[in-house]
Structure 1
């Protein structure tokens, strides 16, 4: 069962192999009979496979012969009722429609640590009759729940409440009521309207009545009348807080500024068009990206919809730029640098604006559509789109290469840097080019013709040679572009047309990745961080190390396990895997990238097998029948 499970760090795709000398390995390392029909399989960031069955959720670790956990308290779950919290070992399970008023419809929530298998929170066992919100807060490793709890006297059982749990110790830190139980007067709606903000000295809850601040013991601190806030972020000192309120029609966002004492720091809120997708507090001001929609096409490529970039005064909220830069499309890339803001547009185009609103590039840089790569290189800013590639000076926007490399619009473009020859290699639509890093001179490197009309989507240097792959093809070229081998493995049934189309869909997923990242960052203590830093080209190892360090800093056993996973070298880095037709039926084959020889063949005997491959640990999870999962060791 292949699907986009969690948008995360670049963890390799799944590829292919040759069958002549294969070692058959049809005996699984472990077999898991789950006792109920399996509806979906999801491989988590932490390496645990989660199976959704008719009875609930089951967590599987291939190193253990029994499931890590079985959660059947809520019965069968719809896909939308299971949320994998980004960059964490947590799953939030939801059931029942959200409601602002107690007694209308019961809502249930549970939080599972899928690595330890512990159910950290269950609204049923903790006597919550109704849940308004249930938010995991990182890196503090807390859970904040709001709703109605069936404890205390009859008034307390009807009064909205907030509870804060420690996810590491699995204990309640503190709880408090949002209104005075039994208060006489007109009923007020105290439902929680957004994500609470957890600071070092307080917790701020956005409600339909305004913001409510409590100490970490639940004592009253202050209240503010700003209502309907959806999410908040603070500056590094935690003395200035920004709240974001989406208007009722969803077409605009209002930004409010509040002090750590609850005072409104701006005379008027600041309205921006559309929904805020990126926000960063800088010494010079506030950088805001908002995406506005005409209400027509939902496509990320719709030209009638576009992003807006604003730069606001932190003291007043006024726009510091006399004239905002025109985007004429979606902001696909957004990076903050020492001298200004660099951004790339999905429909094509790159520009850079100083913090005082001046254009730093001599003129906006024209590029092809869909900027797949924007990264820093020793020569400048390297960009690669579906139509062209070039390096430009990050200060002026001048082309480093005398002219961009142009190629036919391709569903996928693969590239790498050859350090030994000091050159960039780019493959698009069957053609490969070599670009000298110093002179920018481009030359034809090789022609690559893959079967089933596939295009190269992965490229890497291996001992001076160039490894290329797609879904059903692998090839190795020498450093002068000559083919050393090419192996093709017929797909079990998917047509070449569908494969090319799926490449386009993968390109469009950039928008989803950005949305996912924004959601993960909504409850950060501050927006300084490195989310908008421009990465260096080909630094995947550094990205993995950064993730490992981040997990380790939380100081929890489950996060420590995740840290070790990302520090380890990928178990399958020297092999590619592909689902193909074998003599004995459909199966997965493992090929050595350097030799093209098949090291292993696993016959699955299923025309449309559902499976997941954990490439970091070297494990294949295969749904053998409606109720059974096999785990195969791919390393041996």
Structure 2
């Protein structure tokens, strides 16, 4: 359904005519893939490769030909929990356990090139204790039992993931098993074992030092590799002990620092150590719950020299830390349950008082006027030095399921859509106006706002509405959903990286750049910044991923909507500036399973139990 203002009626009729003229039928796919087994799960990776788990193994496809990129059948059916997609890296790790929960099979696949870089059986490993991808070094560190002549020995090996070559191999003496994530340094490898912590010279295999610290789950070091911190989980991993070790293997703190909860953020700063831990007492009740306190995040700041608290009184969170940023003068944090505060490195509150906000802080970012925050209930800009509101009063709205925002550079204002209202906030004065009310069809509210050259585009799953700069409706397109079940089957999302098995340690290492407050930018710039953080790594496949992150999205001028077409359920390609339908893809399935790679401009569609169609959406 299209609703047009009088001013745009003639243009709208012209666009309707054009949409009928130029709409295409594309039931025949550009590429067709027989994956060789029943499809169980489809995952669009960060690098754009579609990885498909089947009853026979794991398949990768990259449109460009009808050939499979890889078809990994060595382990037969692979369950979702056996897959680990490495963040910010082109690798998927496949692991299967055997008797006694020992890992007997492990493989690492480069999903950009399709190469199998490592497997236990081809490299002589009987059991695997740890198998960790190290970024940005682009290495794989493996420990376990490996065949050595006529016996199996405890060993550790390092592989170069640019090609899969083994670079180092060391047999370990005794019966010590590696129990945590190793730390790969420029001059060696630190292994956490069940008995101690030891550093190994990778060239000679000699032990440089070992100390009596056990059960370290992961380690953190600074860029110069002069400070090493070991995190030990206690009480079943619910709490944490932190140890400090120098480069010669000496324990520098007389006693480890004890942290309530599981450490989720660990920052080594010139001023000290910033630590965030999450306390989860949700399973406790009665006296035990009272003794344990509430479930919430704890923030601590320690002296690197001795591990003592630098703050006389830690800030109260009364909830879980959702945003955590290191600033020049202190630490800025936002709480999911609502609230923003800023603490200096010496423990002083920099805001006059904690800032009250709505729940679920969706955005915290730099603007020329200060810190903009947008929650599910309100928005404002605040002075980063004092915490004072820049806008006379916060913009408040009913708790919205979807909140969209963008910056209108032409008119120097922020646009925020919540429920059925589009608010405009003058960037200089902070004056708020209700620019437009948007009545979407199908029971939907706008969830996206995008400033285009010709106006303001509001979007939801099935609706698109273009507004003029004064809020007038230029056109409105609604494409009815074919049914909740069909829409629910869609796997939309350019970065739908599905892997519950991805380790917290890997995330902590990959996200070493996440604690810097960014600017309020467009989505394209955000992807470019995301790519910048990968640029410290090297390798052909990583370079290919970087090109994808830095390139303009192939479908930046179009949206793809699942709807009921004349010949059945399908996808329509709608131009964002005109609302014109430029392509129709009839999927001939009442409940289609599909995914759109918006950056690559490809539609993946599960045509039947073992076949995937791919359509080039750039045409």
TM-score of the superposition, structure 2-length normalised?
0.91
Q: What pairs up with 1:64-463 in 2 under 5 angstroms?
A: 64-97=65-98, 105=102, 107-154=104-151, 157=152, 159-180=153-174, 188=175, 190-217=176-203, 218-296=205-283, 304-463=294-453
Shift of 1:596: 0.2
Q: Secondary structure at the match of 1:452?
A: coil
Shift of 1:54: 0.7
Aligned partner of 1:568 in structure 2 is 551
**Greater RCO structure (CA 8 Å; 6+ sep):** 1
CA RMSD, aligned part only?
Answer: 2.5
Aligned partner of 2:288 in structure 1 is none
Query: Is 1:540 the counterpart of 2:530 in the alignment?
Result: no
Q: Distance in 2 between matches of 1:453 and 1:495?
A: 16
Q: Secondary structure at the match of 1:394?
A: coil
Q: Secondary structure at the match of 1:239?
A: coil
Shift of 1:304: 3.8
Q: Do the aligned partners of 1:433 and 1:443 also contact (CA within 8 Å) in 2? A: yes
Q: Distance in 1 between matches of 2:221 and 2:181?
A: 13
Show structure 2 runs of 5+ residues with no match.
1-17, 286-292
Shift of 1:295: 3.2
TM-score of the superposition, structure 1-length normalised?
0.89
Counterparts in 2 of 1:444 and 1:351: CA distance versus 1, 3 Å: same
Q: Secondary structure at the match of 1:174?
A: strand
Q: Residues 525-557 of structure 1: CA distance to partner in whole angstroms, max 9, x if unpaired?
A: xx9x53211011124333322343444543311
Q: Distance in 1 between matches of 2:409 and 2:264?
A: 36
Q: What pairs up with 1:520-559 in 2 under 5 angstroms?
A: 520-523=506-509, 530-559=513-542
Query: Is 1:42 the counterpart of 2:43 in the alignment?
Result: yes
Q: Distance in 2 between matches of 1:32 and 1:289?
A: 46
Counterparts in 2 of 1:297 and 1:384: CA distance versus 1, 3 Å: farther
Q: Distance in 2 between matches of 1:152 and 1:583?
A: 68
Q: Secondary structure at the match of 1:453?
A: coil
Shift of 1:521: 4.4
Show structure 1 runs of 5+ residues with no match.
1-17, 181-187
Shift of 1:126: 1.3
Aligned partner of 2:7 in structure 1 is none
Count of residue correspondences:
588
Aligned partner of 1:584 in structure 2 is 567
Q: Distance in 2 between matches of 1:495 and 1:209?
A: 53
Q: Secondary structure at the match of 1:86?
A: coil
Shift of 1:105: 4.8
Q: Residues 335-376 of structure 1: CA distance to partner in whole angstroms, max 9, x if unpaired?
A: 010111000000000000000000000000000000101111
Q: Secondary structure at the match of 2:475?
A: strand
Q: Do the aligned partners of 2:46 and 2:88 also contact (CA within 8 Å) in 1? A: yes
Aligned partner of 2:55 in structure 1 is 54
Aligned partner of 2:5 in structure 1 is none
